[in-house]
Structure 1
């Protein structure tokens, strides 16, 4: 590429890249500090209102040192418009949530690397590089002889290592080299949130491109429509989809996943791990869980996009959008020659009241449906009638325990004998409300009488269905009249 083409490409990148937009922003330090504090954890997602409140609290402390005149909500809106935050509908509750975009995660990682520069060259990194290059050379070599020679050499090395171990010669990696290797592992793990966010953003872009191709291409020539109608999952069958599916399959494999868990636990039990900061040990401990969580979220998004695309095609919604797109193109085509005769601001005698809300896409507009405002048939005035007190009392007895009746029954029983249990009261005054009368007597006895935990009695009552029932319970006794 010529210097002109390269300069123009970089100029376009400066305008389009949210990462560079974050680095060039006036409050980059505050933005990175706040976003990394609340959303940098793997899979972090916060309700919008909660993030607004958290940012407001942080701003109170920051305003003593920096000029930050806006509210937390306004800053979050600016970050969203700049591409640093992604706002999505909440899955488990009503409302929406914020999460970091892939570009914001990359920008935060750049700040962290500049603050704590990684080692330029380490032995473990060179060994990993050389090993990866050698393995790639072996796997891509079509010459069977050379591949057999490489495998034979590897087998000899393994046999020699086994012989040394059997002879008691154990060469354990020293602490310095072990720390170097684990730091390299942790550096790769820190890039995982940005990688997962980037994969999800790529799937969103691919989903948008497929929908656009459905609208832009004639139906008779659309291979996308043919593939979807034949049941082909275009998103999962893409290069990104196949790569992620293979990665996700490795994590879902119980044998490999449990082996990785065991290896992480073994590394954490080594002495050299204590030389690492607490945050690094925590990152290593949750490595497998973070991998599974990120993979599950991306796989869920992949499934949602695939289902949405199939539903969009099979429900014929694309036909409506295609017709709307055609009408818009016709209007734009008519507006071009009309602009030579009529200015856009010319008075045409029609007043249109515009909404005060700002829309980023015409797709956010929906037509008003008058039927949604219908409340049904109009309400008529009810006819006046006479209230029957006996009917109201019967309704009350169906929903409430008649404690007045039960109190009268208890007092009447105690007038004839010094004490009375619940069973004795029911024997003289049957339960007119069935089980409700029994429960009411137990409640009165617990409040005004005594309960013998070492003695039981049997109570009998007739239910509202006419059947006799019995129950054995602790003896509840009344020792005096109920005056309440």
Structure 2
């Protein structure tokens, strides 16, 4: 890249990047101090009103000490939002709902705060612990991508030999215990590395939010890509989880879930070791005790953001935001307007001569409810249409049989009941089944029970009925006795 290109990029970043803008602001020292104290510690997110209230006293005190700040916190917070130093995030609640918006630091603001903290407390450029972590990670990466099986086996044998030597040294007591000062230095290295994790997860959340915005823009554009995306949403495919940021977050959570319990035990052992805790400051001891909890909190926060974005995206794909749904809503509104125009001239009792046959099981029946399993996030398999066959014509009888298997034939059952009532005067469900077989098996029995509850009279306790199943097997049941005393309309 040429010098001119680098300079242009730097000029653009100086005018747009929140970290650079924060460091170039009128009183960057006060701004970074306020942001670090209220949003970069244990508390990472606050409602705007709460943040303004917490800043008021601090801003008044800093102004008395000569710092150039607004007279109230409200304009300062608005400026930070405008410059991208603060960002708005919906708070995550249980279920599908999100709470009121809250403010948190952007990744650029965290970078500026981390930069200033490094200036105040400079860290060694390369310590043995940090260097060993880098070399170990490099070795693991090289082993993971090595295609030669013999090379990988050789590396594993060498690692096993090293572990055997170390185990034998511990067994004989010849392995020296780490000195407290060196142990404390390694603990500080771990804290320094872990301090970057919340900022990394914040960048993951920013990437997920950006991807979510791109996916939402795709919902408004007609075409095969949009249709395929909507199909994936209805199948349960999580496009956010398939992005690099989503996979990174899922892998991070998997590692934390697997090692969280052991890590808590390691911290306890470290602080109980003779002399190790004495070499650490009280703040460092507290940071070690809270290390795993803070990692868990940051991970859960990022996971909650991805979950909220995914659910909001699913609702957007299934709501009236799509062009087809908007067109359907327009037609419904037009029909409603026409009905209102005709309301003065057409009475409610005017027959329309339109009928709609409904099944015996109503939509509000428990049989029609399918409980949702929140733990089942597996997408449904792709439905691949079978190409139509042109060799044989459609079998009308087969189509009628298929339709009857999906819907209870109330017309047939009503005719059967009326036939028995006309001949005998009254009839129970057992009388109807003895006169007319249950052509749909159990579905016919359910349909007769539905007709009896609506048009029959309860008569006695119960009665025994029989009918033939789909394979000719005789079925028996005891049902409440109902009596039809007049034809069913």
Question: TM-score, with normalisation over the residues of structure 2?
Answer: 0.61
Structure 2 CA distance for partners of 1:222 and 1:60, relative to 1, 3 Å: same
Structure 2 CA distance for partners of 1:321 and 1:102, relative to 1, 3 Å: farther
Identify the residue that residue 145 of structure 1 maps to in structure 2. Answer: 150
The reply to whether residue 53 of structure 1 matches residue 39 of structure 2 is: no
Identify the residue that residue 178 of structure 1 maps to in structure 2. Answer: 183
Identify the residue that residue 192 of structure 2 maps to in structure 1. Answer: 187
Identify the residue that residue 108 of structure 2 maps to in structure 1. Answer: 103
Structure 2 CA distance for partners of 1:149 and 1:220, relative to 1, 3 Å: closer
Identify the residue that residue 262 of structure 1 maps to in structure 2. Answer: 265
1:43, 1:294 within 8 Å by CA — same for their partners in 2? no
Q: In the TM superposition, what is the alpha-carbon distance from 1:6 to its structure 2 partner?
A: 2.1
2:204 counterpart (170, 182, 199): 199
Identify the residue that residue 278 of structure 1 maps to in structure 2. Answer: 282
Alignment of 1:8-27 (within 5 A): 8-27=8-27
Identify the residue that residue 465 of structure 2 maps to in structure 1. Answer: none
2:92, 2:304 within 8 Å by CA — same for their partners in 1? no
Alignment of 1:196-345 (within 5 A): 196-218=201-223, 222-253=227-258, 256-270=259-273, 271-319=275-323
Report the structure number with the largest CA radius of gyration.
Answer: 1
Counterpart-to-counterpart distance in 2, 1:320 and 1:24: 49
Q: For each residue in 1:384-415, what CA deviation from the matched residue of structure 2 results, as whole angstroms up to 9, or x when unmatched?
A: xxxxxxxxxxxxxxxxxxxxxxxxxxxxxxxx
Alignment of 1:41-80 (within 5 A): 41-64=41-64, 65-80=66-81
Counterpart-to-counterpart distance in 1, 2:325 and 2:28: 40
1:215, 1:321 within 8 Å by CA — same for their partners in 2? no
Let me know the Cα RMSD of the aligned residues.
2.3
Counterpart-to-counterpart distance in 1, 2:113 and 2:291: 20
Counterpart-to-counterpart distance in 2, 1:319 and 1:88: 28
Counterpart of 1:99 in 2: which secondary structure? strand
1:122, 1:180 within 8 Å by CA — same for their partners in 2? no
Structure 2 CA distance for partners of 1:162 and 1:94, relative to 1, 3 Å: closer
Structure 2 CA distance for partners of 1:250 and 1:94, relative to 1, 3 Å: closer
Identify the residue that residue 40 of structure 2 maps to in structure 1. Answer: 40
Counterpart-to-counterpart distance in 1, 2:19 and 2:326: 35
The reply to whether residue 118 of structure 1 matches residue 135 of structure 2 is: no
Counterpart-to-counterpart distance in 2, 1:124 and 1:100: 30
1:105, 1:193 within 8 Å by CA — same for their partners in 2? no
Structure 2 CA distance for partners of 1:142 and 1:27, relative to 1, 3 Å: same
Structure 2 CA distance for partners of 1:23 and 1:320, relative to 1, 3 Å: farther
Alignment of 1:412-423 (within 5 A): none
Structure 2 CA distance for partners of 1:160 and 1:8, relative to 1, 3 Å: same
Structure 2 CA distance for partners of 1:211 and 1:96, relative to 1, 3 Å: closer
Identify the residue that residue 3 of structure 1 maps to in structure 2. Answer: 3
Structure 2 CA distance for partners of 1:226 and 1:320, relative to 1, 3 Å: closer
Structure 2 CA distance for partners of 1:63 and 1:283, relative to 1, 3 Å: same
Counterpart-to-counterpart distance in 1, 2:111 and 2:68: 26
Q: In the TM superposition, what is the alpha-carbon distance from 1:89 to its structure 2 partner?
A: 4.7
Structure 2 CA distance for partners of 1:320 and 1:105, relative to 1, 3 Å: farther
Counterpart-to-counterpart distance in 2, 1:59 and 1:136: 49
Q: For each residue in 1:262-307, what CA deviation from the matched residue of structure 2 results, as whole angstroms up to 9, or x when unmatched?
A: 1111112222232222222211111111111111111111111111
Alignment of 1:381-460 (within 5 A): none
2:319, 2:325 within 8 Å by CA — same for their partners in 1? no
Counterpart-to-counterpart distance in 1, 2:254 and 2:99: 32
Counterpart-to-counterpart distance in 1, 2:192 and 2:40: 15
Structure 2 CA distance for partners of 1:91 and 1:268, relative to 1, 3 Å: same
1:260, 1:288 within 8 Å by CA — same for their partners in 2? yes
Q: In the TM superposition, what is the alpha-carbon distance from 1:43 to its structure 2 partner?
A: 4.8
The reply to whether residue 166 of structure 1 matches residue 167 of structure 2 is: no
Counterpart-to-counterpart distance in 2, 1:121 and 1:319: 57
Identify the residue that residue 344 of structure 2 maps to in structure 1. Answer: none
1:48, 1:98 within 8 Å by CA — same for their partners in 2? yes
2:92, 2:308 within 8 Å by CA — same for their partners in 1? no
Q: In the TM superposition, what is the alpha-carbon distance from 1:54 to its structure 2 partner?
A: 2.1
Which deviates further from its counterpart, 166-175 or 283-292? 166-175
Identify the residue that residue 424 of structure 1 maps to in structure 2. Answer: none
**Unaligned stretches of 5+ residues in structure 1:** 324-484
Identify the residue that residue 31 of structure 2 maps to in structure 1. Answer: 31
Q: In the TM superposition, what is the alpha-carbon distance from 1:7 to its structure 2 partner?
A: 2.0
Counterpart-to-counterpart distance in 2, 1:306 and 1:96: 17
Counting matched residue pairs gives 321
